[in-house]
Amino acid sequence: MIAFTLLACSKEVNEVGLLPYLPAKLDETGGNWKTFVLSSGSEVAVDVPRLVSDAVYLKEIDSLKTVVIPSLTGDQRAAVLYWGAGAVLRWNEIGRELAARYNLPPAANSAGVYPVPNSADPLADPKFPFANPPYTARALAYLSVAQYDALVSTWKYKFLYNRQAPYQVDATIKPLLPTSNLPAYPSTDAVVAQASYTILLAMFPGEGPFLASKLAEAKNAPIWAGVCVGSDVNAGAKLGAAVAAKVMARAKTDGMGSANNQALTAAMISNSKALGLPNPWISQEIPMRPPMLPNYGAVKTWNFDRSTLELIRPEKPYLEGSAEFNADLEELKSIQANQTRTQAAIANYWADGPGSFTPPGHWHRYAAQAGVEAKLSELRMARMFAYVGTALMDAGIGCWDTKYYYYSPRPQQFGLKTSVGLPNFPSYTSGHSTFSYAASTVLSSLFPERTKTFEGYAQEASDSRVYGLIHFRVDCTMGGKHGKVIGAFAVQRAVADGAN
């Protein structure tokens, strides 16, 4: 019975904990880095703060010392440690969690029709959004861009006004987090929290109460930690909201609203046939499900323009009946007959299907790990996510454009099964391959010593779709090449932004 008790008591899931750290660099000149949506870090004005000798400010310090810090609860201390690991990081995690919670394809109703999620009634069945890979790539891209632009602006004003942190003003204040010489006004945590809240609420409109509670805690945490006073936080929240509103203005006009335009598919199928594909893609679901976001390829890209998108579109896939096509088909048949456990494990590891944070989420997680290990400043962490995030969204757009341009059939139209579940959209090129190589290209440029690791992950993610029997080899090799090119545009932008 002792063994029973032991087993029963150890059912708490242990995740690798993330702890607050002192950044390797403060990135003092970050306020001059090039932004994505803002014209510059000074586009949004921030009020001049009161001096640290001002009576109103000193009252805030006094309240921190005599009221806030002496009465901290255990929960508040835990919140300080949680948010202290990194505001950018934590909101990125929250974004990934929401993506996983909303990544569920609608069920068919009794009439055999798949209802379209309704943003005005997000918690009804089917919930809005269906956070599939393109949706999640976009949500995380806007989240990351808003965080980055807001933090460039934050750095601008931090070093312009140079208002010190409470523990520098009053040495009797013992902060709960590692300290640095980073000026406190406006508060980094509050800027990131308010910007992230605004974007995530727009992307996941049914999550108002959940996000509001995270926002409130994130804004209080730096005060509880003794690293900010209320006026630092208020200025940060105001800045974060203003920047996020500008970023959302881009989101509202980027074409996502017509990404699910199903009326376009008839012309796409005709185009496919005209290109020489005798049997274009057709849904393998029962009842047949309309394809996922057929017009996502028309959404506005970040790091290159529309004519470039068409220029870099992968060439035609192997045509049914050709020797190359037959070789790819034979490879799949042979894997189906003799799939090894290692192949199954790779296919499952990267499946990132329904109920998961999708491949873009998986790559944001790799980025997060690398950023933490490199002890990036909040600003540089946001910069990393912005380039990885926009590259992933661009990869989604480029890949979806390709998929619906060729409208090519899945292996299941040739009798194959799948060990991971079949995505409901055309085959060529592989989304996993495009996403993964785009992200690995950006991450390799930011962390050159890890190039081999990231490229290894990308190749494995790409192979996983062959092992899972849902892509032909050519879908993956061409998707990977396309992803590399797309990632390189993000890198090109990054090298010129003033951060290096």
Partner 1 sequence: MFCLLGFVELKAQMPHDAIYMNKNLACGALVYGNNYWTNYWENSLKRDNPNIGRLTTQSVTAMIAYGIKRDLNVIAMIPFVKTEASQGNLLGQQGVQDLSVFLKAKTKSYHGLTAHGVLGFSIPVSNYVPDFMPMSIGLGAKTLLARGIISYNVTKNIYLSSSIAYQARSFVKADRDAYLSGSKLYNTDQVPVPDAFDAAFRVGYLKKDNQLELFAEHFSCTKGDDILRNNMPFLTNDMTMTSVGMYGKYQPKSFGVNARVAYVVDGQNVGQSTTLSVGLLYQFKVK
Residues lying near partner 1 in the complex (CB under 8 A): 1, 3-4, 7-8, 11, 13-16, 93, 96-97, 100-101, 104-107, 125-127, 284-287, 336, 339, 341, 344-345, 348-349, 351-352, 354-357, 362, 365, 412, 416-422, 469
Shortest distance, CB of residue 448 to partner 1, whole angstroms?
25
CB of 131 to partner 1, least distance (A): 12
CB of 11 or CB of 174, closer to partner 1: 11
Q: Which of 341, 373, 393 is nearest to 446 (CA)?
A: 373
Contact (CB, 8 A) for 126 and 113: no
Q: CA–CA separation, 170 vs 166, rounded Å?
A: 6
Assign residue 16 a region: left if phi > 0, alpha if psi is -120 to 50, beta otherwise?
A: beta
Residue type, 242: A
Which residue, 467, 452, 374, is CA-closest to 418? 467
Enter the tokens of residue 238: 């105001």
Structure tokens at 171: 């040495």
Cβ proximity to partner 1, 13 vs 274, nearer residue: 13
CB closer to partner 1 out of 109 and 162: 109
Q: Among residues 423 and 483, whose Cβ is nearest to partner 1?
A: 423
User: Taking the CA of residue 47 as centre, how many other CA atoms within 13 Å lie in the half-sphere pointing to its CB?
Assistant: 11
Smallest gap from Cβ 459 to partner 1, in A, equals: 17
Closest contact distance (angstroms) between CB of 356 and partner 1 is 7
Q: What is the spatial distance between Cα 269 and Cα 196, in angstroms, rounded to a whole number?
A: 39
N- to C-terminal Cα separation, the chain: 61
- Minimum CB separation from partner 1 for residue 100, in Å? 5
Cα dihedral sign for 400, 401, 404, 410? negative
| Closest distance of CB 122 from partner 1, Å | 13
Report the residue count for the chain.
500
Tell me how far, at minimum, the Cβ of 490 lies from partner 1, in Å. 24
User: In sequence order, what DSSP letters do the residues of 301-363 get, joined into one string?
Assistant: PSSS-HHHHHHTSPPPPPPTTSHHHHHHHHHHHHHHHH--HHHHHHHHHTT--TTS-HHHHHH
- The CB-of-161 to partner 1 minimum distance in angstroms stands at 37
| Identity of the residue, 164 or 412, whose beta carbon is nearer to partner 1 in the bound complex | 412
Distance from C-alpha of 464 to C-alpha of 343, rounded to nearest angstrom: 7
To partner 1, the closest distance from the beta carbon of 125 in angstroms equals 6
User: Exposed (0-12), middle (13-18) or buried (19+): which is 117, by Cβ within 10 Å?
Assistant: buried
Which one, 287 or 456, has the nearer CB to partner 1? 287
Task: Compare residues 102 and 407 and give the one whose CB is closer to partner 1.
Answer: 102
| Residue with the two structure tokens 């909101």 | 91
Q: Which is nearer to partner 1, 96 or 482 (CB)?
A: 96
Q: Write the DSSP string, 205-257.
A: GGGHHHHHHHHHHHHHHHHHTTS--HHHHHHHHHHHHHHHHHHHHHHHTSSGG
Q: How far is it, in rounded angstroms, from Cα 424 to Cα 451?
A: 32
The distance of closest approach from Cβ of residue 71 to partner 1 in the complex, given in angstroms and rounded to an integer, is 29
Q: Of 14 and 73, which CB lies nearer to partner 1 in the complex structure?
A: 14
Beta carbon of residue 144, minimum distance to partner 1 (angstroms, whole number): 18
Half-sphere exposure of 219 (CA within 13 A, CB side): 25
46 vs 94, which CB is nearer to partner 1?
94
Toward partner 1, which CB reaches closer, 422 or 490?
A: 422
